[in-house]
Amino acid sequence: MVSNRNLVYCAMNCGLPGKIKVHTFDPKNDWVPPLSSVPLPIRKAMIEANESPALLYNLKLSEEEVQLGVATAATIECFLPLIEKIDQPPRSTLHSVLQRVQIADKVVADATEALMGVCVKTVGYERSFRILSHLGVIPKNADVSMLLRTANYPIGDYYPVRHKVDQLLCNPDRIESILGYKFQNRLYLLQAFTHSSYMSQSITSSYQQLEFLGDAVLDFLVSMYIFERNPTMSPGQLTDLRSALVNNVNLACVLVRYELHLYILSQSPMLTDTIGKFVDVQRYNNNRTGDWVRLLTEESDMPMAEYVDVPKVLGDVFEALIGAIYLDSKNDLNVVWQVCYRLMRDEIASFSHDTPIQVVRQLFEHPEAKPHFSAPIVDDEVVYVKLTYTHRSQRQKVFGFGKNKEDARRAAAKIALSKMA
């Protein structure tokens, strides 16, 4: 529904691309005098042939035609043979002369999203649903704001099973104290902590549906907050900041810092072992957040680093908790944001001041490094890569290990940056 392709189609149905100003104002090149136009036969032929508008410089008009403002049929017939068909339309600011403008699909999609952003900022998110209906992104007759206020998530009645639910959660009062939110229906809380491998309770399903909802809610709230609080940041900086805050690694770090991972209901020994390893790394690093937390360095003659796997379930449970609070609070975004800010306040303050950038990207952006990664080598289900880089005018060599190529590259990049710091 919100893919760039669908947004382009919706925008085209409403005639939005024709209202987008693509080029800067340049009257010497693209200004078209009022009431003037290229003769229709010539315009149609040039558009069908993808011919460059610059060809119009070869249209020779007599003094009489200039005075009358109309090209004769003879002049048009002499010009048409000059038009040659080409495969790709040329890029030119003169396309406005042919009443056409070349616009990339992504520009149209971005402009559509920007229009929605303007609506959210000026009239609020609920009233902004109307533009989604107008553009055809959602059905024309859909009243989304009413649906959000009246929709009921299929969840059971907490009161008859309250003792069983509280027993499964071990210490629900402690969880609510950490979150700063008291649940009206703790079945939401139980579902948020239930992994798909846990078969000992059938009161609720696993956290996956709540995770889907919480992911969208968290992304929206964080985007709104950083946009309002950082008016001088560029779009790229805002994207980096949002990515740093809502990525799975950071959410996993936050969950572990508040020890909420202890309440996850799972019957997977492998998952328990993986979570335990990550928790040990976190404690060793004093719950440091960011890409660096997943890296263990081996001290040896040859610098090596291992990329510690971060169980996806940790970030998923965090998002499921956000989804659970959203539903339990009757879709109150203010309540949800209070919980989010309470848990992520340190990361929001720290990352807003110094936004972390993915370690491989940091290395490539380093003015001296000139990194080169070798092809990945797989040995006994472990992937490792060799990284060569420049430090103090000398080429250095390090190795990175991980479960896949990306993890191995990040591990190697981390140790290289450590040595260059």
- CATH number of the domain within which 344 lies: 1.10.1520.10
CA distance 1 to 137: 6
* Amino acid 296: pLDDT: 45
CB-CB neighbours of 258 under 10 Å: 15
Selection from 370, 362, 412 nearest residue 387 by Cα: 412
Q: Please report whether residue 143 resides in a domain.
A: no
Q: Please report whether residue 146 resides in a domain.
A: no
Q: Are residues 395 and 349 in the same domain?
A: no
CB-CB neighbours of 358 under 10 Å: 17
Structure tokens at 405: 């190529």
Q: Which of 336, 353, 370 is the last residue of a domain?
A: 353
* Amino acid 304: pLDDT: 54
Which own/partner contact pairs does 399-403 have at CB distance under 8 Å and 24+ positions apart?
Answer: 399/302, 399/303, 399/304, 399/305, 400/304, 400/305, 400/306, 400/307, 401/304, 401/305, 401/306, 401/307, 402/306, 402/307, 403/307, 403/309
Q: Please report whether residue 364 resides in a domain.
A: yes
Q: Which of 306, 334, 353 is the last residue of a domain?
A: 353
Identify whether the C-beta of residue 136 lies closer than 8 Å to the C-beta of residue 14.
Answer: yes
Q: Are residues 35 and 182 in the same domain?
A: no
Q: Are residues 235 and 335 in the same domain?
A: yes
Q: Please report whether residue 383 resides in a domain.
A: yes
Q: Please report whether residue 154 resides in a domain.
A: no
Q: Please report whether residue 11 resides in a domain.
A: no
Cα separation values, 230 from 226, 238, 309, Å? 6, 8, 32
pTM, rounded to two decimals: 0.75
Q: Are residues 341 and 386 in the same domain?
A: no
| Helix 312-328, helix 248-257: angle, nearest 10 | 80
Q: Are residues 196 and 63 in the same domain?
A: no
Q: Please report whether residue 66 resides in a domain.
A: yes
Q: Are residues 365 and 346 in the same domain?
A: no
CA distance 26 to 30: 6
CA distance 388 to 216: 40
CA distance 319 to 206: 13
Domain of 39 in residue numbering reads as 23-102
pLDDT tens track, the chain, 421 positions? 888 899 999 999 988 888 887 777 777 766 777 777 888 899 889 888 888 888 888 888 899 888 888 889 999 898 999 988 887 777 766 677 777 777 888 999 999 999 999 998 898 888 888 888 888 888 888 777 777 777 678 888 989 999 999 999 989 999 999 999 999 999 999 999 999 999 988 899 999 999 999 999 999 999 999 999 998 998 888 988 998 899 888 999 999 999 999 999 999 999 999 899 889 888 877 776 655 544 444 434 445 555 566 788 999 999 999 999 999 999 999 999 999 999 999 999 999 888 877 788 888 888 889 999 999 988 877 888 999 999 988 999 988 888 788 888 888 888 888 888 7
Q: Are residues 174 and 55 in the same domain?
A: no
Q: Which of 353, 375, 408 is the last residue of a domain?
A: 353
Q: Are residues 280 and 412 in the same domain?
A: no
CATH of the domain at 371: 3.30.160
Q: Are residues 86 and 205 in the same domain?
A: no
Q: Are residues 274 and 335 in the same domain?
A: yes
* Amino acid 97: pLDDT: 77
Q: Are residues 233 and 367 in the same domain?
A: no
Q: Please report whether residue 328 resides in a domain.
A: yes
* Amino acid 290: pLDDT: 57
Q: Are residues 321 and 172 in the same domain?
A: yes
Tokens 């992104």: give the residue. Answer: 137
- Please count the structural domains in the chain: 3
Please report, as a single letter, which amino acid is at residue 367.
Answer: P
304 CB-near residues (< 8 Å, 6+ apart)? 297, 298, 398, 399, 400, 401, 415
Distance between the two ends of the chain, CA-based, in angstroms?
45
Structure tokens at 186: 């703790």
